[in-house]
A and B are shown apart, each in its own frame.
Chain A
Amino acid sequence: MFAVSNYQVAYGQSEVIHNLNFSIRPNEIVAIMGRNGMGKTTLMKSLMGIQPSRKGSVKLGDTDLTSMKSYQRVASGMGFVPQGRMIFSTMTVKENIETGLTTVKDKKVPPDLYELFPVLLEMKSRRGGNLSGGQQQQLAIARALASRPKVLLLDEPTEGIQPSIIREMARTLKRIRDEKGLSIIVSEQVLSFALDIADRILVLEKGDIVAEEDRASVNEAKIAAYLSV
């Protein structure tokens, strides 16, 4: 459903992603793993149209996203939760979620988002910047879900979040997938979290996919070896 082919991304002369090929099925959760500096965030940003790609194509269903700007990609069905959350800190929680409604017809925050994240309803009129890290993460996910994406990209969602909340987040993400029927691509360094949620794990090393494992038949030791420094 979501297909990336012959994909290349470069910062000037230095090529970060070389000739990447992968695809995601509907309702699938894929974890992209790799150590720091292997191109995970670059790949995510470029799939969102923030970092331009040099070659190759990105397709969502029949729609070619390759030459689209970020907001057009969102309108076509991409949702993005960036590394470090990047919520709008001077705006209230409600206003933050409303920014995600730009591409859809809804005027009000859909109630199911507050059902998924009850804490956001409580904090509705607080400024985003005054939330804790875990709450900000929930806010960033709610904001991305507001535009009703078909594919949700999460860049290192566990970064800086305590273990108990990481487990809860894995549950929530699976629940979102089941209820909304979307695909999720999550870039991750924490193996336990990836094993917890992913149907498939891709390992990215120096801009190439060096391993691909299904959750059912995963060789944990092999992936752990790729992640160890």
Chain B
Amino acid sequence: MFADYSMAELMSIFAMQGFAGLTLFSVFVLMALGLAIIFGQMGVINMAHGEFMILGAYVTYLTSNIFAEYAQNLFSIYFFVAMILAFVATFLLGALVEWGMIRFLYKRPLDTLLATWGLSLILQQIYRSVFGAREVGVTLPDWLMGSVALTDSIEIPINGLFVMGLTVLISIAVFIMMFRSRWGGQVRAVVQNRTMAGAVGINTEKVDRITFALGCGIAGVAGSAFTMIGSTGPTSGQLYIVDTFLVVVFGGASSLLGTIASAFTISQAQSSMEFFLSGSMAKVLTLLVVVGILMLRPQGLFALKIRR
């Protein structure tokens, strides 16, 4: 399959597909970071995570329309406003869902699978009723369009670069919050032993609610970023949820670093194979490799060495 291309062409293809993979990687990381907190840390199987992401995407879409309508001169910065709004909206919805549903299910983690699956169906129908079944896309401001030409045959799209920068910033912020702040310490204590965390004075209900809401909020930001590389429909989240769980499990459920490493591996493998094989063939190969590795290392790529 490589025979049709010259060496220089192959290099360019790998570079550009590699970069396309990096953009996919960014969305994976943003989705998976939220899920790593909710599933990896809290143990809640959140099947509605994709729908939270899509909520963020719709909020971005609405914001872009409002800016185009009423504040044309500020259109170039609408994306930053949209991102904040997307975060706030999904954070609030997350807090509501935790309060109304998830908090009753911490002792029955498998039931969260069904409950959040139901929630995802409800949300999809709401999106369909409100925004219609057709996919919508946002108009990017001028400065995000176009691409940087590195050489004659390698071109790097600017929106991809932007999404990557965003991902790096958010990942760093999450790391600092989880591992350097007192709040992060409380979260880790609660997820490790909810009863004992209460008995040392941590308000576990509040920590649970904020943690879940934060995971959803990050998904909302992922949705915001998602609008730059794909169009948004009521069921777009479904396409990503399986991949996202795959990323989190493959990386080692309790390790944020593992999540990032596995998002990188999976997205790169998929996007470079997709160019040469069909999309589904690429997926099959990726899944086979992941299944193989998980059989050898059930705890995922990164696991803490610790007596439990």
Contacts and interface: CB of A to CB of B under 8 A. Distances in A.
A75 interface: yes
Interface in B82-102: none
Contacts of A107: 182
A70 to B, nearest CB: 4
Contacts, number: 81
Contact of B192 (A48, A49, A91, A100): A91
B199 to A, nearest CB: 5
Nearest to B196: A86
B200 A89 contact: no
Interface string B180-223: 00100110110011011111111110000000000000000000
B308 A89 contact: yes
B195 A50 contact: yes
Interface string A101-117: 11100010000000000
Interface in B291-308: 304, 306-308
A102 B200 contact: yes
A14 B201 CA distance: 29
Given A71-B201, A82-B196, A100-B200, A129 B185 contact: no
Contacts of B192: 88-91
Interface in B147-201: 182, 185-186, 188-189, 192-193, 195-201
B188 A71 contact: no
B254 interface: yes
B306 A99 contact: no
Interface residues of A, number: 30
Contacts of B204: 70-71
A147 interface: yes
A95 interface: yes
Contacts of A102: 182, 186, 200-203
A95 B189 CA distance: 9
Contacts of B182: 98, 101-102, 107
Contacts of A129: 306-308
B91 to A, nearest CB: 22
Interface in B263-286: none
B200 A69 contact: no
16 contacts: A49-B198, A50-B199, A71-B204, A82-B196, A82-B199, A86-B193, A89-B306, A90-B306, A91-B185, A91-B189, A95-B188, A98-B182, A98-B185, A99-B185, A99-B202, A147-B200
Given A80-B199, A80-B200, A101-B182, 20 more contacts: A48-B199, A50-B198, A50-B199, A70-B195, A70-B204, A86-B196, A88-B192, A89-B307, A90-B192, A90-B254, A90-B306, A91-B188, A99-B186, A99-B189, A102-B200, A102-B201, A130-B306, A130-B307, A147-B200, A147-B201
Q: Kindly list the 4 A-B residue pairs having the minimum CB-CB distance in the complex, ordered from nearest.
A: A74-B201, A70-B198, A103-B201, A129-B306
